[in-house]
Amino acid sequence: MKFIRNNSRIQEQDDATLIANYKHSGNLDVLGTLYNKYMHLVFGVCLNYLKDEEQCKDAVMQIFEELVVKLRVHQVQNFKSWLHVLTRNHCLMALRKQSKQTTVSIDDTFVENTDFVHLDIDDTKEQQLSVMEKCMETLPEEQRISVDLFYLQEKCYKEVADITGYELIKVKSYIQNGKRNLKNCIEKNSSE
């Protein structure tokens, strides 16, 4: 699934150079070259969430359209992991629009609060999912990305380190601190 024709000179540039070039010029060929590197991963994440190939193709196009605007205003250090989070959020919003009863499987050890996971009232589950999403957004970027990849995407420590470029020891620290901060935030917001 080719997206935008690529200039071979542009293809040789690294992500940071392509981002800077796009921000400066607004050239969609540059953005297309950057996106083409990761489009297969975007499609895979979409397929994991949306489960429908046609819907995933549409999502891949919509995410590119989001990039046209968002990449010009955000400071992106690690494009691959930033794009992964953007893709995941896009899919979650699409699922939320489709159904007000979004179900997310979360391991007890992740939240460490069985009341949170096992409530039977759909509105309460939706509200608690919303609290968890808001709490995820309050985490520092390194913790948020690491927690997302480790718990929600079920990546191992080494995979998280490879995807993010963080040192392995830092990944373990980000996950441990992120989990604790997320748990505290969820408990605080659930009791209000």
Region 19-43: mean pLDDT is 92
Mean pLDDT of the chain: 80
Q: Is the domain of 39 the same as that of 64?
A: yes
Lowest mean pLDDT among 32-41, 145-154, 161-170, 173-182: 145-154
How many CB atoms are located within 10 Å of the residue 7 CB? Answer: 13
Q: Is the domain of 124 the same as that of 54?
A: no
pLDDT tens track for 73-127: 888 888 998 999 999 989 988 888 886 544 555 554 444 444 444 444 455 666 7
Region 31-55: mean pLDDT is 92
Q: Is the domain of 112 the same as that of 92?
A: no
Q: Is the domain of 106 the same as that of 167?
A: yes
pLDDT tens track for 150-174: 877 778 888 888 888 889 899 899 9
Confidence at residue 164, expressed as pLDDT on a 0 to 100 scale = 86
CATH code for the domain in which residue 86 is found:
1.10.1740.10
Out of 98, 116, 132, a domain closes at 98
> 4 pLDDT exceeds 50?
no
**Separation CA 181–CA 186 (nearest Å):** 9
Out of 98, 133, 148, a domain closes at 98
Region 169-183: mean pLDDT is 90
CATH code for the domain in which residue 156 is found:
1.10.10.10
> 43 pLDDT exceeds 70?
yes
**Separation CA 39–CA 63 (nearest Å):** 10
Q: Is the domain of 172 the same as that of 94?
A: no
Q: Is the domain of 114 the same as that of 93?
A: no
User: Residue written as tokens 């819907």?
Assistant: 55
Confidence at residue 137, expressed as pLDDT on a 0 to 100 scale = 86
Confidence at residue 44, expressed as pLDDT on a 0 to 100 scale = 92
Q: Is the domain of 67 the same as that of 46?
A: yes
Confidence at residue 102, expressed as pLDDT on a 0 to 100 scale = 44
DSSP readout, 9-49? HHHTS-HHHHHHHHHHH--HHHHHHHHHHHHHHHHHHHHHH
Asked if residues 147 and 174 have their Cβ atoms less than 8 Å apart, the reply is yes
Q: Is the domain of 5 the same as that of 92?
A: yes
Q: Is the domain of 82 the same as that of 134?
A: no
> 142 pLDDT exceeds 70?
yes
Q: Is the domain of 29 the same as that of 48?
A: yes
Region 2-17: mean pLDDT is 59
Q: Is the domain of 119 the same as that of 84?
A: no
- Of the candidates 84, 47, 86, which has an alpha carbon nearest to the alpha carbon of residue 70? 86
User: Residue written as tokens 């991963």?
Assistant: 41
Q: Is the domain of 93 the same as that of 3?
A: yes
Asked if residues 7 and 33 have their Cβ atoms less than 8 Å apart, the reply is yes
Domain assignment of residue 120, given as a range: 102-192
The set of residues, in sequence order, having a beta carbon less than 8 Å from that of 56 and lying 6+ positions away, is 43, 46, 47, 50
Number of domains in the chain: 2
pTM for the whole structure: 0.48
Out of 98, 116, 139, a domain closes at 98
Confidence at residue 190, expressed as pLDDT on a 0 to 100 scale = 73
